[in-house]
Structure 1
Amino acid sequence: MRFTLNFALLLMSLALAAGCLWVASHGAWYWAILAIWFFSLINNMPFALMHEAVHGVAARSKWGNHLIGQMASWAFPTSFLLQRKAHLDHHDRNRTDAELYDYYLPQQSKPLRSVWLYMGNLMGFYWFSVILGNFIYLVACWFYRSNLFVKKIAPALGFGTQVAELVKLPPLRVWCEIALAFSYQGLLFWLLDLNIWGYLACQIAFGLHWSALQYADHAWSSRDIKNGAWNLKVLPISRWIALNYHYHLAHHQQPAVPWYQLPALVDHQALQPSFWRVYFSLWKGIRPAPPMGAPADLAFLFPEYKESQQNTGK
């Protein structure tokens, strides 16, 4: 039942995303704008399903989970094996010094960290850097795995810790998965007779949305590996399209729980920031990092919370 549901959602989302690409390339400008906006949302569904497969809960069988993970990775496009390693490492490093983008440490350059935040998470370069890294792996695997890239270039871009682990994966398998994902994108381009501007507009819109979401669900949360995330408030339709991905705290607390069971784990009595509240707060810039174990900065996110605490003398 779980495989049937998730596989049906995967096929539906891939079809809808392809339809958006076609409309963006061939439709009137007003339909194209609508298609670009919807693509930025619907392309999160394959990513969410790949995320389920990363944790082994997209299907009960190993083959079913692998099939969904592989096909879902085509929409990004990326390697499922590479994504699984990167994401599981994220669960181990969450809110530690090795993975902290809303704050800067005393020994770090504030201007450089600001570039990572503004360009990466808020302007879509996080997504673009993943795609660029995959392309480099595809055309120059030797360079991606070289000491120059691993020890110099990747750290300068903010991916030093991640890339150092990714190069340990079997290179041929990762290369084949990336080649298959890029081939899927190329096949879509050819079969649907897409034009470059419509295609890029859809991908950039998705990249902006995806990049922002990847850190809006963590920014200013407690510096705790397991509890350093938020259950974000969004419109029900947005949450459904992303398969409850916005319930990120519940996911980090129990990563083996499938997406449709996450709502039952959410404490609706706790303060929950909206996606937009966190997103706009990030534009205020990075701040000095509190120590590991520090609680969430509720006073920064909720000025009204700070005022109520002062009024009650707490």
Structure 2
Amino acid sequence: MSIRPSPEILPSQSTLSVIARIEWQTVALALAIYGGYFAVTWFWQSLPVVVVIAAGGWLVAWHGSLQHEVIHGHPTRNRRVNDAIGWPPLSLWLPYAIYREGHLTHHRDEHLTDPIEDPESSYFTQVAWESIGWLGRRLAAWNTTLLGRLTLGPVVMIVNFLVQEAALVFKGDRNRAALWARHAIGVGAVLVWVMWVCEMPLWLYLFGFVYVGAALSRLRSYAEHRYADHHDERTAIVENSPLFGLLFLYNNLHVLHHKRPGVPWYRIPLLYRRHRDFLVSVNGGLVYNGYVDVARRFLVKPHDDPRHPQHRQPVTRRDDEVSAVPEITI
């Protein structure tokens, strides 16, 4: 039987989480993201449409990375201030409060990838797999390739999420309805700015900002997790990716984030380099040499079987397996 390395090799979470009252690096990042967003939407008519789409998609995906940072307690010690920084719904479809709740649940590492316990799992239970029919299974299988995840993935993620949320609201969940009402106010403000003030056509925002932004986020999450017997070995590392590393705020070095989720984004690269050997041994060597390596392996080849290994036996359908259909993977 192999002996797993001790997690105590890494500095403790409390030591790494000692920060100033304000993390100015993250404040500057937020200003760059929101400033860039307002600049691109305001000046869009003066820019080539390709530049608008590329910049818009990047900024919305970058904003999603900022929201992730905010969820983990940055850049201040005040949660209300942090939540205010992350709340604006630039992506339109995902309420920050739901993202926050689901992502913190995802960090129960012993349940990583489990389609019932992990809200960010991309796996199906056997019951859910059988319930989606032939066409659904074909689409799900295509969605396990990188090409499918980048092209079909945003539609699958957004539509599935909205359908499940609508079901909760229509069943009478008042808290969810109130949350969506508040979110709708933010969405309305974004669309007023985009369509009325900036006079950008809705199709351009939905495609260039929302869809491309979601696709970039799906690139990050595509190879982040994969089932293994030990939960530490379910989290991957994507090295040597400076451009996407900045876009994802270094969550491509994902096993470090799961071991020490409170570490601010700008400290991750150095900490990873110092403890690389340990982290690679912890995650069982699940390492990719950049996203080109991920594409080389999985562009048209499935990353994994969509059915979770621990849920492949046919079972009697239970009410709690509604959540066995994958929800969101940001």
Q: C-alpha deviations, 1:247-273, integer Å up to 9, x for none?
A: 221111111222122224424443520
Q: Which has the higher contact order (CA 8 A, sep 6+)?
A: 2
C-alpha contact (below 8 Å) 2:228/2:234 kept by paired residues = yes
Structure 1 pair 224–51 and aligned structure 2 pair: CA distance change class (3 A)? farther
Aligned with 2:91 (options 38, 61, 76): 76
Aligned with 2:45 (options 26, 48, 68): 26
Aligned with 1:277 (options 260, 278, 293): 293
The offset of 1:176, in angstroms, is: 0.5
Question: Over the residues paired in the alignment, what is the CA RMSD in angstroms?
Answer: 3.5
Task: List aligned pairs for 1:101-250, cutoff 5 A.
Answer: 101=122, 108-109=129-130, 112-116=136-140, 118-119=142-143, 121-126=149-154, 129-130=157-158, 133=161, 143-147=167-171, 169-203=175-209, 204-218=211-225, 220=226, 222-250=228-256
Does residue 76 of structure 2 align to residue 48 of structure 1? no
C-alpha contact (below 8 Å) 1:37/1:202 kept by paired residues = yes
Match of residue 25 from structure 2: 5
Match of residue 155 from structure 1: none
Match of residue 328 from structure 2: none
Q: Given residue 5 of structure 1, which amino acid in structure 2 is its aligned partner?
A: Q
Q: Given residue 86 of structure 1, which amino acid in structure 2 is its aligned partner?
A: G
C-alpha contact (below 8 Å) 2:62/2:248 kept by paired residues = yes
The offset of 1:290, in angstroms, is: 7.7
SS of aligned partner of 1:145: helix
Match of residue 59 from structure 1: 76
The offset of 1:90, in angstroms, is: 2.1
Moved more, 269-278 or 119-128: 119-128
In structure 2, C-alpha distance between the alignment counterparts of 1:61 and 1:251, rounded to whole Å: 21
Q: Given residue 13 of structure 1, which amino acid in structure 2 is its aligned partner?
A: I
Q: Which ranges of structure 2 fall in alignment gaps of 5 or more residues?
A: 1-19, 311-330
Number of aligned residue pairs:
264
In structure 1, C-alpha distance between the alignment counterparts of 2:263 and 2:123, rounded to whole Å: 27
Q: Given residue 31 of structure 2, which amino acid in structure 1 is its aligned partner?
A: L
Moved more, 106-115 or 247-256: 106-115
Match of residue 6 from structure 2: none
Q: C-alpha deviations, 1:201-256, integer Å up to 9, x for none?
A: 313222222223222222x4635445422221253132123321222211111112
In structure 2, C-alpha distance between the alignment counterparts of 1:126 and 1:87, rounded to whole Å: 18
Structure 1 pair 185–64 and aligned structure 2 pair: CA distance change class (3 A)? same
The offset of 1:84, in angstroms, is: 0.7
Match of residue 255 from structure 1: 261
Match of residue 326 from structure 2: none
C-alpha contact (below 8 Å) 1:56/1:65 kept by paired residues = yes
The offset of 1:81, in angstroms, is: 1.2
In structure 2, C-alpha distance between the alignment counterparts of 1:225 and 1:144, rounded to whole Å: 30
In structure 2, C-alpha distance between the alignment counterparts of 1:131 and 1:186, rounded to whole Å: 23
Q: Given residue 101 of structure 2, which amino acid in structure 1 is its aligned partner?
A: K
C-alpha contact (below 8 Å) 2:150/2:219 kept by paired residues = yes
SS of aligned partner of 1:232: strand
